């Protein structure tokens, strides 16, 4: 039986090589493993963003944080400022869905994992659409 951690790391390599569909297949297979599921959801979210589905990415990022609130302790290196971040639920933030210039309804274009930024402030939610 193949080592699931090795398979996960191989999928990360596929992702780095731009072989997103192949990586997705592995992540979808591995998300059935409860220990790897949050990490798979985080990576599937990243791929969803890349392929133009920010709404799915948004939900998957939060699913990863909900399943493993301290996921950044494993995803980020020891020097990363968000390494010790622990998700304690979504904060109530004002969401602007209308264009400030024309007043038209906005369309989701990208999901931002702010927690990955070097200057992330825990006062805000870790993910933003």
Going through 3-127 in order, the beta strands assigned E by DSSP cover none
**10 lies in some domain:** yes
**107 lies in some domain:** yes
**94 lies in some domain:** yes
19-41 burial: b if 16+ Cβ within 10 Å, else e: eeeebbebbeebbeeeebbbbbb
**76 lies in some domain:** yes
User: Residue 41 is encoded by which pair of tokens?
Assistant: 């959801």
**73 lies in some domain:** yes
Q: Are the C-beta atoms of residues 67 and 38 closer than 8 Å to each other? A: yes
Cα-based distances in Å from 105 to 96, 97, 108, 122 = 9, 6, 10, 28
- Cα within 13 Å of Cα(94), Cβ side: 2
**11 lies in some domain:** yes
Q: What is the pTM of this model?
A: 0.91
Q: Which residue has the tokens 């980020």?
A: 76
Which domain range does residue 8 map to?
4-116
pLDDT tens, N- to C-terminus, the chain (129 residues): 689 999 999 999 999 999 999 999 999 999 999 999 999 999 999 999 999 999 999 999 999 999 999 999 999 988 899 999 999 999 988 877 888 788 888 888 899 999 999 888 888 999 998
Return the CATH number at 104: 1.25.40
**91 lies in some domain:** yes
Q: Are the C-beta atoms of residues 93 and 80 closer than 8 Å to each other? A: no
**88 lies in some domain:** yes
- For the chain, the domain total comes to 1
């Amino acid at each position: 039986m193949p080592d699931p951690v090795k398979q996960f790391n191989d999928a990360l390599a596929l992702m780095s090589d731009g072989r997103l569909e192949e990586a997705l297949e592995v992540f979808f297979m591995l998300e059935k493993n409860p220990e790897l599921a949050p990490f798979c959801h985080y990576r599937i979210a990243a791929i969803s963003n890349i392929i133009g589905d920010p709404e799915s990415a948004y939900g998957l990022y939060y699913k990863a944080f909900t399943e493993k609130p301290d996921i950044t302790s494993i995803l980020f290196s020891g020097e990363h400022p968000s390494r010790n971040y622990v998700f304690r639920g979504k904060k109530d933030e004002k969401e602007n869905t209308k264009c400030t210039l024309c007043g038209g309804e906005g369309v989701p274009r990208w999901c931002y994992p702010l927690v990955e930024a070097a200057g992330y402030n825990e006062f805000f939610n870790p993910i933003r659409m």
